[in-house]
Amino acid sequence: MTSVKHGMSHWYDPIPLARIAVRVVVSSVFGAFADRRELVAAVNPVANHPFDPTHDYSDHYNEAGEFWFDFLADTGDGWASTRAVAQLASGECIRPDGWDGALPRGQLLVMGGDQVYPTASHQAYHERLVAPWESACEDVPRALGLEADRADLGDLYAIPGNHDWYDGLIAFSHLFARRTYASPHLASMVRTGKIIARRQTRQVRSYFALKLPHGWWMWGTDSQLEGFIDQPQVDFFRYVAQQWMDPGSKLILCVGQPSWTYVDPADPRPAFNSFAFLSRLAADTLGRNGQPSGHQLKLVLTGDAHHYARHMENDVHYVTAGGGGAFLHPTHQLRQHIAFAWESPPPNQSELAGRKTYPRHFELARSAGEEGTEAVYPSRRDSFVQSLKTLGFAAYNPKFVLLYACFYGLLLWAMEARVANHKAGEMLARFQKLDGDYGAALAGIIDMMVHTPVVVVLLLMTWGVYIYFADWQDSRLRRTIAGSIHAIGHIALFMAIAAAALPAYGQWVAGRQASVAQSSTVAVTGKPDMSERVANPEPSQSRQMAPLSDQADDTGTWNAVTSGLLVAMGAGLASASWFGLYLFGSLTMTGRHWNEAFSATRIRHFKNMLRMKIDADGLTLYPVGIRHVPGSDVPGRDIRGEMIEQPLHIA
């Protein structure tokens, strides 16, 4: 399979956009009826096995008692950005700007979801994930005497995100969860995992539990497309918490999305329910002796949002690190405080008898050692500067401009057919009297649209699409208002541009009327109207002596076609520009449409990853960013990275 150096995914190209929509619908429908997680769990039952020793890293520390490991999410998009992060993660160590020491390469790499864009397939994984990662490893020296096909950069684990689920998790399972147990009750054999970028995959499901040194554990969870946690997965983690984890263990929880930032405080259940359950699962599970386990959640890691942001709730840190290679997401729309009532207390707190709700309060953290600086990357200022690119939506998405142009061309064709064949008599006098009167032309366009049922239906349908598109799911009224403003802007631009071409169209209608009148004369009398001809002209004079109505018709037709094309393209360009302005305004003024706005510009810069260390004193987190990503034709071997914030210590 050949490797292609893909650019960033073009989310507004009509054909790929349609394919993504189909994939989303199909995967959502079939995922609800045939959950692949349950099938895999049946093939690899946990109850028949003790704790998998390959998932035990409790004694994998170095001479200083340190265990290093990495986390990143949302990779496998553009070649340049994916390879840059892979280069940073695969080197012997990171020496980031803003930090004097060296950060050794992790023995373990965890990918936190959405390993491929835009949709999952075997080919997409190979071209957008495996190939750039293996390219980044080509310059990393191999251990002496180690065969070329052996893993020497540690182990690799991954949890799926929604994009990994768009093929029903088939390609993800083949790539990351190929390993199987040999069960005495099933006709099965031991199968080893794949080697990807000189890293060994060892998981047997789409979720996993890892035992780390000094009493730490990591859980990687799979919440499918809608945040649903299947029962076999719940049973697995309960079994881990009760049978394998020592009482009082410290937990790192990897989840598919930052539910604490997506939550709607007025209606928190849709976004927060599954996460709230997972965050308390370890502590709420009784130990082997029937007593409380005492497990403590210390750190939550996630991606899905393609930036770095750290929130806190009491003593628990919630870190979003989705800068593994996908297009950048903004940070200047993030809320400083998120508060709401919930039916269970925060992690590490006990329920109180008789109490039905508990306050939940997530606060955007401040960078350690830099008082007053928010723990986000890019900064709010840099994020706003990048958002200005949304105003160039039309330039970034020329095929979307063409889509609009085709739509407006369809409207013009429908209007011409209706007016020329059914309303020409009424319209003709009005067109001929325009004489540069733009107001009259605009009124004529409105009249034409109103008297063309197909146009009315199409515009009403697109109006509904704009309302559906509006990012106000929490308020039907606001969604309707925002969508209507968006729709009215498009319609107004089309009418304004079309009105400028209406006089040329009027001339064409006049030509058609004259031609139709002459054809009628021939049909009635059997003879052409010779009032404007010279009797019996020579053939060489036939074109010069053609009816004036024919000449007017030819000229008018050409003018009308030219004007129609210009109107369609001009309206398409104007609508695409208005689309970008709508996204920019929504993001800037309300914090909405942050995903749609930044996916339009496909910014490959401001990538990030986490390098972490566990020792006897606890866990230390080193967030590292890449401010500028070189192009795909630049090797990028000099990437150093920069410290996003000072190291964070969690005891």
Share of the chain above pLDDT 70, in %: 78
Domain with CATH 3.60.21.10 in the chain: 14-378+606-650
Where residue 639 falls among pLDDT bands split at 50, 70, 90?
Answer: confident
**Structural contact between residues 115 and 76, judged by C-beta atoms closer than 8 angstroms:** yes
Nearest to 290 by CA among 345, 243, 250: 243
Question: Which carries the bigger pLDDT value, residue 230 or residue 444?
Answer: 230
Task: Tell me which DSSP letter residue 39 carries.
Answer: H
Task: Tell me which DSSP letter residue 422 carries.
Answer: I
Does 539 score more than 70 pLDDT? no
121: helix, strand or coil: coil
Sign of the C-alpha dihedral computed for residues 44, 201, 79 and 99 taken in this order: positive
Residue 567 to residue 486: CA distance in whole angstroms: 20
Where residue 552 falls among pLDDT bands split at 50, 70, 90?
Answer: very low
Nearest to 587 by CA among 480, 310, 579: 579
pLDDT tens across 339-398, in order?
A: 999 999 999 998 888 889 999 999 999 986 656 689 999 999 999 999 999 999 999 999
Q: How confident is the model at residue 541, as a pLDDT?
A: 44
Residue 318 to residue 201: CA distance in whole angstroms: 26
Q: How confident is the model at residue 540, as a pLDDT?
A: 44
Q: What is the mean pLDDT of residues 258-287?
A: 92
Q: How confident is the model at residue 545, as a pLDDT?
A: 38
Q: What is the mean pLDDT of residues 263-291?
A: 90
Q: How confident is the model at residue 291, as a pLDDT?
A: 87
pLDDT tens across 60-113, in order?
A: 989 999 999 999 999 999 999 999 999 999 999 999 998 888 999 999 999 999
Residue 244 to residue 215: CA distance in whole angstroms: 12
Q: How confident is the model at residue 80, as a pLDDT?
A: 93
Does 583 score more than 90 pLDDT? yes
Q: How confident is the model at residue 548, as a pLDDT?
A: 41
The count of other CB atoms within 10 Å of the CB of residue 248 is 12
Which range of 2-16, 91-105, 417-431 scores highest in mean pLDDT? It is: 91-105
* Identity at 221, one-letter amino acid code: T
Where residue 547 falls among pLDDT bands split at 50, 70, 90?
Answer: very low
Q: How confident is the model at residue 278, as a pLDDT?
A: 92
Question: Which carries the bigger pLDDT value, residue 487 or residue 32?
Answer: 487
End-to-end CA distance of the chain: 47
Least confident segment among 23-27, 141-145, 189-193, 643-647: 141-145
Q: How confident is the model at residue 392, as a pLDDT?
A: 96
Task: Tell me which DSSP letter residue 631 carries.
Answer: P
Task: Tell me which DSSP letter residue 74 carries.
Answer: S
**Structural contact between residues 252 and 219, judged by C-beta atoms closer than 8 angstroms:** yes
Residue 171 to residue 160: CA distance in whole angstroms: 11
Q: Two tokens at 331?
A: 């940070």
Q: Two tokens at 284?
A: 């709420």
Q: How confident is the model at residue 228, as a pLDDT?
A: 77
Does 48 score more than 80 pLDDT? no
pTM summary value: 0.87
What are the b/e assignments for 613-639, b being 16+ CB within 10 Å?
bbbeeebbbbbbbbeebbebeeebeeb
Angle of helix 398-418 versus helix 453-469 axis, rounded to 10:
150
Q: Two tokens at 486?
A: 């968006």
Nearest to 427 by CA among 413, 411, 441: 441
Q: Two tokens at 544?
A: 């010069």
Which range of 8-17, 325-334, 436-445, 564-573 scores highest in mean pLDDT? It is: 325-334
Q: What is the mean pLDDT of residues 401-414?
A: 93
Write out the H or E segment, with its range, that includes residue 551.
helix 548-590
* Identity at 175, one-letter amino acid code: L
Q: How confident is the model at residue 46, as a pLDDT?
A: 59
Where residue 192 falls among pLDDT bands split at 50, 70, 90?
Answer: confident
CATH 3.60.21.10 fits 14-378+606-650, yes or no: yes
Residue 573 to residue 221: CA distance in whole angstroms: 44
Distances (CA, A) of 147 to 143, 144, 329, 365: 9, 9, 40, 46
What is the overall mean pLDDT for the chain? 84
pLDDT tens across 296-341, in order?
A: 999 999 999 999 999 999 999 999 999 999 999 999 999 999 999 9
What are the b/e assignments for 349-374, b being 16+ CB within 10 Å?
eeeeeeeeeeebebebbebeeeeeeb
Where residue 158 falls among pLDDT bands split at 50, 70, 90?
Answer: very high
